[in-house]
Amino acid sequence: MTFAGFDFGPDRIAIGLFTGLTYGLLAIGLVLVYRSSRFVNFAHGAIGVFGAAVLARLAGALGYWAALPIAIAAAAGLGALTEATVVRRLHRRPRVIGMIATLGLAQFILVLALVVDRSSFSGATFPKPPGLPSFHIGTTVIGPSLTAMLLLTPALLAALAWFLRRTRFGIGIRAAADHPDAATVNGVAAHRMAGLAWGIAGAVAAFSAILLTPTQGVQSIDSLGPELLLRGLAGAVIARMASLPIAFAASLGVGVLEQILLSGQTAGFVDVVLGAAILIALLRQRPSGRRDADPPPWRRPAGGPDPWARAGLGLLLAVGVLLAYVVSNATASVLTEVFGYALVGLSVILVTGVAGELSLGQFAFAGIAAAVSVRVASATGNMFLGVLAGCAAGALSAAVVGLPALRLRGVALGVTTLAFALATSGWLLRRPWLLGDGLATPYPVWDGYVVSVATDYYLFALMLLVIGWWVTSRLRAGGFGRLLLALRDNEEAGRALTVAAPLRKLQAYAVCGALAGLGGVVIGFGQSQLSVNNFPASASIDAVALAVVGGMARNSGALLGSAVIVGLPALVPLGIPGQAALTLGWLLVVLLLPDGLGGLLADQRRRLPDLRRGREGGGPGTPPSHPGPPPTATAPDPVPPSTATAPDPVAFPSATATAWGSGRLPAAPLVHDGTGVPLLQVVGLRRAFGGVRAVDEAGFAVAEGEIVGIIGPNGAGKTTLFEILAGFTAAQGGAVHYRGRPVTRWAPERRARHGLVRSFQDARLFPAMTVREAVMVAAEKRAPSRLVVDVLGATGPEEAKAARTDEALRVMGLDAHAQRSVGELSTGTRRIVELCCLLVLEPRLMLLDEPSSGLTQADGAALGDLLLRIRAELGTTVLVIEHDLPLLSRVADRLIAMDAGRVIAQGTPDEVRAHPAVVLSYLGTDEAAVARSGAPAG
Ligand SMILES: Nc1ncnc2c1ncn2[C@@H]1O[C@H](COP(=O)(O)OP(=O)(O)OP(=O)(O)O)[C@@H](O)[C@H]1O
């Protein structure tokens, strides 16, 4: 049965279902591990191969059916062991580190499997299940292994479902995966449950490896290469990395789709369609409302490069140049390749280390750039144009991929970029207008000089590496890098402070594409014949691995990682044992050195005398991520026990006049519109979550210069109302008018730029940034960072922001905290920092969400004074959610009371507090509560 050139016959569907079965089992393993550890396990396939090796070794002596459970148990044990020895150690580190560790581990486990039994890699000699029949579906022969799979998979799935739903351990696994802290409180040991989940995933991996190996020719040493990984991940992400039945069913669909497409097209085309299908499925998923637990932030090196680092770089460059005159052509070619990979590594450092986005497709941009640059250079005879065109192609393709990816995060983005990498190497690069079957590379010509010798070309590559390095350093050190850090730390807070997140992310993708493109150009011109094989999809994963091994915190990480992972095996023939030792070595680096090899070097450098301050630098134990308190920091103020909400690691800047600022506020006074139109008008606003009507036909107006309080019981919809007013949640009905203009469709950053700003209930801000950096993000409003300006190294806009920030910190009494990281401040201090940021935005309307929570009583009173001052001195209008009714009664002109999403009363504080509906829903009938609120009795 064919249609449009594709075969839809039962044979195809049957084969598709069988392959889908494999993908389904893989997807189940990936989901199980993801749910407990929140990353993709690259060692899944290798653990399966290990189980297969155990079976192959034991089947002869014990018989197949006796060896089967032992082999599966061995793989389960290895899975659990992996969790206990590797994964658990990396729990508090960024997720990508865990993923890369499993990548290294996979190589190691494969060698282990080879040692146990070599036949686990050969389909022809691998034992088949005895006693089971073969049969035909159409013309397709179903052998005993597939029969076993057909019979045993439903049993396995049923057992898994029963275990996860009905047993204490299964329920424990699900509880620990979804709410690890709550599970721990309830006596479920989260780490033991994670070990169990890994064990089950290992058993599933062994089950499929044992039954699939006989059906295949020779198992590749990459037992979970990017192609297979993508197919497993497709089902898993469609199931939101959560539901096992959906993951399995979607994988069956992937298998059938693949087989039908293969009947009329090439494998590369299948990757394109699969990639598109995955992207559409991901984009159609509505945000779940539940955010993944925030990944721990990347560590950041303290301060700028010191003179030692500069000297070291200078020396390295001099050695690099000298090498051109010493090494052979063969070595020069390897070093050129190392530079190319290092440039791609730099792009990974920017996109993952700085911007915090997981990209598993950076090498695709390198491939596209190489093809374009070689073509342009060949056509024009101009090398310079070729390089520029290559970088532009890299930037453009990264931006095109980035556009839909703006809505994706974490593993979803990783899967999309991996799909793009596969589609690029399997299909796009093979187009005749890119690489086709191969492209003869012209010798680069530089200013009339033909670069025909590898050592000369090496110097050219070194020059491009220096340019890429310089651009990366400029971007990291400037305002643009700070914006990326802010978005990585807390995208919503960044947008609330006017940072245009989509634009900034696209710019970041484009720059990273250009950098990877530069790497592609270096690799491309280094080959006499350029083909798809120079840019395999797996190289994209290698690029992430080398950045992790080298260390994401510094540029040097890319070069070090590339030297170890690309250079070493190419320069020294290692053989399988040597390769295993190298992999084990870098696995240990990933496990033991949080900042990779670059961090190790930096630690050694810190032992040298500090030339900046003329004293000994801190030892290797000095934490690089959070600089300690400056010498001027004041001692912590004691927090009265009655009001302490959490241990305050940092001084609250006390409720004295200096803390809340006695000087001029850090914003210019506003000129009121004076049109008589309300500053804010809310009409019939609606928003429901499932069956819950969070905001239900809410309507009110706020005049310019008013302070209006919003009260209501928990769950009344107050925060959702603010989310809608500030543009973070879309209304399902109704309208918001600000200064007479409908703003309902405006993005949050646009509203903030027009003076409609908000605070957040948790005042989390940017935990990995310093207080000064956080305020500098707010200062962007007046002097936005420009990418090109940053790359060129102009310091003017940065100086303007710094001056404004320092002034704001001083008048808010925060200068003693300037260099502290926001994450280590008490809630109260964070609230002052957040207020400082908001004032720097020169707000016309401030939406404050419970600003007094976490403050001491005295500081709450000081907050009240500050709000009155802000209104008096700046003319700012304030809409404030508060549970502290006495505070509101003192500062607010009017109160709005909400319940169940509706506005139930509004008027003066006295009127609202006495309103029967408010008394009933909020204050309760408890006379004492009413009395405490300050409401008139009766
Ligand atoms: N993203 C979401 N997904 C699902 N339900 C939500 C979401 N946000 C809010 N809700 C629900 O909407 C209702 C209103 O919540 P909201 O946080 O706006 O109330 P609130 O008045 O601010 O409460 P609180 O004083 O506790 O902050 C609640 O029932 C809440 O569970």
* Res 334 pLDDT > 70: yes
* Res 379 pLDDT > 60: yes
Closest CA to 174 of 295, 38, 41, 35: 35
Lowest mean pLDDT among 53-62, 657-666, 800-809: 657-666
Our answer on whether the CB atom of 288 is closer than 6 Å to any ligand 1 atom is: no
Rg (CA), the chain: 31
- In angstroms, what is the span from residue 935 Cα to ligand 1's centroid? 27
pLDDT at 79: 95
Q: Whose CA is nearest to atom 1 of ligand 1?
A: 289
Choose between 416 and 2: higher pLDDT: 416
pLDDT at 169: 80
DSSP secondary structure of 686-738: EEEETTEEEEEEEEEEE-TT-EEEEE--TTSSHHHHHHHHHTSS--SEEEEEE
Q: What is the Cα–Cα distance from 362 to 29, expressed in whole angstroms?
A: 26
Closest CA to 227 of 426, 50, 30: 426
pLDDT at 882: 92
Our answer on whether the CB atom of 720 is closer than 6 Å to any ligand 1 atom is: yes
Q: How far is CA 169 from CA 91, 173, 196, 246, in A?
A: 21, 6, 8, 22
Q: How confident is the model at residue 331 (pLDDT cuts 50, 70, 90)?
A: very high
Lowest mean pLDDT among 355-364, 518-527, 771-780: 355-364
Helix (H) / strand (E) element for 841: namely none
What burial letters (b/e) apply to 759-796, b meaning 16+ CB within 10 Å? bbebbbbbbbbbbbbbbbbbbbbebbbebebbbeeeee
Our answer on whether the CB atom of 715 is closer than 6 Å to any ligand 1 atom is: yes
Q: How confident is the model at residue 642 (pLDDT cuts 50, 70, 90)?
A: very low
- In angstroms, what is the span from residue 689 Cα to ligand 1's centroid? 9
* Res 847 pLDDT > 90: yes
Q: What is the Cα–Cα distance from 64 to 213, expressed in whole angstroms?
A: 14
Q: What is the Cα–Cα distance from 389 to 397, expressed in whole angstroms?
A: 12
Q: How confident is the model at residue 63 (pLDDT cuts 50, 70, 90)?
A: very high
- In angstroms, what is the span from residue 924 Cα to ligand 1's centroid? 20
Residue 375: both structure tokens together: 């073509």
Alpha-helical (H) ranges within 870-922 are 885-891, 909-914, 916-918
Contact 156, 200 (CB under 8 A): no
At 396, phi and psi to the nearest 5?
-65, -45
Our answer on whether the CB atom of 717 is closer than 6 Å to any ligand 1 atom is: yes
pLDDT at 875: 92
* Res 638 pLDDT > 90: no
pLDDT at 753: 95
Cα–Cα–Cα angle for 473, 508, 334, nearest 5°?
A: 60
Give 458's contacts (C-beta < 8 A, 6+ positions apart). 323, 324, 327, 332, 333, 335, 336, 339
- In angstroms, what is the span from residue 901 Cα to ligand 1's centroid? 9
- In angstroms, what is the span from residue 697 Cα to ligand 1's centroid? 16
Contact 748, 934 (CB under 8 A): no
Residue 514: both structure tokens together: 């250009």
- Name the CATH topology of 2-120+129-266: ABC transporter involved in vitamin B12 uptake, BtuC (1.10.3470)
* Res 22 pLDDT > 90: no
pLDDT at 932: 52
- CA torsion sign, 262 to 267 to 269 to 272? positive
Q: Which ligand 1 atom lies nearest to the CA of residue 712? A: 21
Lowest mean pLDDT among 62-76, 133-147, 475-489: 133-147
pTM comes to 0.85
Task: Place domain 680-933 in its CATH homologous superfamily.
Answer: P-loop containing nucleotide triphosphate hydrolases (3.40.50.300)
Q: Which ligand 1 atom lies nearest to the CA of residue 717? A: 18
Residues, the chain, total? 938
pLDDT at 931: 55
In this predicted model, what pLDDT tens digit does every residue of 424-442 receive, in sequence order?
998 999 999 998 888 888 8
- In angstroms, what is the span from residue 862 Cα to ligand 1's centroid? 29
Q: How far is CA 373 from CA 466, 469, 511, 516, 719, in A?
A: 19, 20, 17, 13, 52
Q: How far is CA 136 from CA 144, 253, 262, in A?
A: 11, 22, 21
- Name the CATH topology of 330-603: ABC transporter involved in vitamin B12 uptake, BtuC (1.10.3470)
- In angstroms, what is the span from residue 716 Cα to ligand 1's centroid? 7
The mean pLDDT value for 910-925 works out to: 81
* Res 3 pLDDT > 90: no
Give 667's contacts (C-beta < 8 A, 6+ positions apart). 839, 840, 841, 842, 843, 874, 876
Q: Which ligand 1 atom lies nearest to the CA of residue 722? A: 18
In this predicted model, what pLDDT tens digit does every residue of 263-288 receive, in sequence order?
887 778 888 988 888 888 888 876 54
Residue 343: both structure tokens together: 């440039």
In this predicted model, what pLDDT tens digit does every residue of 674-685 receive, in sequence order?
788 899 999 999
Q: How confident is the model at residue 304 (pLDDT cuts 50, 70, 90)?
A: low
pLDDT at 616: 39
> ipTM for the complex?
0.95
Q: Whose CA is nearest to atom 5 of ligand 1?
A: 689
pLDDT at 739: 93
The mean pLDDT value for 161-177 works out to: 81
User: SS3 of 469, please?
Assistant: helix
Our answer on whether the CB atom of 730 is closer than 6 Å to any ligand 1 atom is: no
Q: What is the Cα–Cα distance from 298 to 769, expressed in whole angstroms?
A: 11
Q: How far is CA 263 from CA 131, 212, 257, 395, 425, in A?
A: 33, 22, 10, 35, 20
Mutate which of 720, 721, 758 to test ligand 1's pocket (most atoms within 8 Å of Cβ)? 720
Query: Domain residues of the chain, as ranges?
Result: 2-120+129-266, 330-603, 680-933
The mean pLDDT value for 857-878 works out to: 88
pLDDT at 858: 81
DSSP secondary structure of 200-231: HHHHHHHHHHHHHGGGSSB--S-TT-HHHHHH
Percent of the chain whose predicted confidence (pLDDT) is above 90: 39
Contact 28, 241 (CB under 8 A): no
Q: Whose CA is nearest to atom 25 of ligand 1?
A: 714
The HSE-up count of residue 171 (CA atoms within 13 Å, CB side) is 6
Our answer on whether the CB atom of 689 is closer than 6 Å to any ligand 1 atom is: yes
Q: Secondary structure of the chain: what % helix, strand, coil (to 5)?
A: 60, 10, 30
> First CA to last CA across the chain, in angstroms?
82
Closest CA to 121 of 223, 232, 262: 223
Residue 813: both structure tokens together: 């009494």
- In angstroms, what is the span from residue 919 Cα to ligand 1's centroid? 21
Give the burial class of 104: count Cβ atoms within 10 A of its Cβ; 0-12 exposed, 13-18 middle, 19 or more buried: buried
At 620, phi and psi to the nearest 5?
-65, -20
Strand segments, DSSP code E, in 483-532 are 529-530
Q: What is the Cα–Cα distance from 517 to 468, expressed in whole angstroms?
A: 10
Q: Whose CA is nearest to atom 30 of ligand 1?
A: 715
Lowest mean pLDDT among 125-139, 489-503, 640-654, 707-721: 640-654
In this predicted model, what pLDDT tens digit does every residue of 80-130 receive, in sequence order?
999 999 888 888 888 888 888 888 888 888 888 888 887 767 778 889 899
Our answer on whether the CB atom of 725 is closer than 6 Å to any ligand 1 atom is: no
Mutate which of 290, 686, 692, 710 to test ligand 1's pocket (most atoms within 8 Å of Cβ)? 692
Lowest mean pLDDT among 250-264, 309-323, 643-657, 781-795: 643-657
The mean pLDDT of the chain is: 84
* Res 290 pLDDT > 50: no
* Res 301 pLDDT > 70: no
Closest CA to 736 of 688, 673, 686, 681: 681
Closest CA to 201 of 43, 94, 412: 43
- In angstroms, what is the span from residue 717 Cα to ligand 1's centroid? 6
In this predicted model, what pLDDT tens digit does every residue of 571-622 receive, in sequence order?
988 887 888 888 889 889 988 888 889 888 888 777 777 655 544 333 333 3
Percent of the chain whose predicted confidence (pLDDT) is above 70: 88
Contact 31, 242 (CB under 8 A): yes
Lowest mean pLDDT among 92-101, 469-478, 646-655: 646-655
One fold for both 2-120+129-266 and 330-603? yes
* Res 824 pLDDT > 50: yes
The mean pLDDT value for 292-304 works out to: 56
Lowest mean pLDDT among 364-373, 483-492, 501-510, 633-642: 633-642
Q: How far is CA 728 from CA 245, 315, 406, 720, in A?
A: 33, 50, 15, 9
